Amino acid sequence: DIQMTQSPSSLSASVGDRVTITCRAGQSISRYLNWYQQTPGKAPKLLIYAASSLQSGVPSRFSGSGSGTDFTLTISSLQPEDFATYYCQQSYSTPLFTFGPGTKVNIK
Amino acid sequence: QVQLVESGGGVVQPGGSLRLSCAASGFIFSNYAMYWVRQAPGKGLEWVASIRHDGSDKFYVDSVKGRFTISRDNSKNTVYLQMNSLRAVDTALYYCAKEDYGYYGASTLVYYYMDVWGKGTTVTVSS
């Protein structure tokens, strides 16, 4: 099984801040990495696939980078609706998947 | 529009069974693999099971192998999760999700992801 870790587990930030979340895979997964956003009481929403490809309709302030084992999700200017929990997911072993433990972005 | 609606959750005693359903609409159901993902109260997301577009192959997380069965009826646009021998640790909100895929740059490699999710159905295993 491919293990996924994320850091930090939580962070506090203000509107307008630049936020970076890191995801690490237990083995190389090339670019097979997706990012999801989950707001309280809602289903997850796909933000980015293939490590850096923005899903249709997702604001351009979200970006992803990385390959191999280390990946980042960056929000260039945090908006009020971005306070949520973010999960990375490896799809290298599709149709078996693993999610990271999540990073909660709180309001400072 | 593309929509997934889960049903069948409830409260069940340890050792009991439940069958979850996920009704799909707004897309050609038989063209896509489908997934079940769960989220225990206050916890993160856990992939549970996958089924190929034609039902030919099924895959499970180790913790549910031998107890859960994923299936689909393409004539009814519905995917199911039969859950037997339920345990307290199976208590969670269960989501179904639809497969989609994309490409990166000029590469012909296919990158899979879960692009549409239902709102979930809650399963509580308790005596």
Residue B53 has φ and ψ, to the nearest 5°, of: -60, -30
- Please write the tens of the pLDDT for every residue from A55-86: 999 999 999 999 999 999 999 999 999 999 99
Are A53 and B127 a contacting pair, CB within 8 Å?
A: no
Are B111 and A31 a contacting pair, CB within 8 Å?
A: yes
Are B83 and B67 a contacting pair, CB within 8 Å?
A: yes
- Please write the tens of the pLDDT for every residue from B2-48: 999 999 999 999 999 999 999 999 999 999 999 999 999 999 999 99
Q: Is residue A64 within 8 angstroms of chain B, CB to CB? A: no
Q: What is the DSSP letter of B30?
A: G
CB contact under 8 A, B44 and A32: no
Nearest CA of chain B to the CA of A88: how many Å? Answer: 10
Residue B107 pLDDT > 90: no
Closest CA to B122 of B12, B41, B10: B10
Q: Is residue A19 within 8 angstroms of chain B, CB to CB? A: no
Are A45 and B98 a contacting pair, CB within 8 Å?
A: no
Q: Is residue A94 within 8 angstroms of chain B, CB to CB? A: yes
Residue B67 has φ and ψ, to the nearest 5°, of: -115, -35
CB contact under 8 A, A95 and B50: yes
pLDDT of residue B78: 98
Q: Is residue A83 within 8 angstroms of chain B, CB to CB? A: no
Distance CA(B76)–CA(B121), nearest Å, equals: 19
pLDDT (mean) for A7-17? 97
| pLDDT class of B106 with cuts at 50, 70, 90 | confident
CB contact under 8 A, A44 and B114: yes
CB neighbourhood size of B31 (10 A) = 10
If you count residue pairs, one on A and one on B, with CB atoms under 8 Å apart, how many are there? 75
Distance CA(A106)–CA(B2), nearest Å, equals: 31
Distance CA(A27)–CA(B47), nearest Å, equals: 19
Are A95 and A1 a contacting pair, CB within 8 Å?
A: no
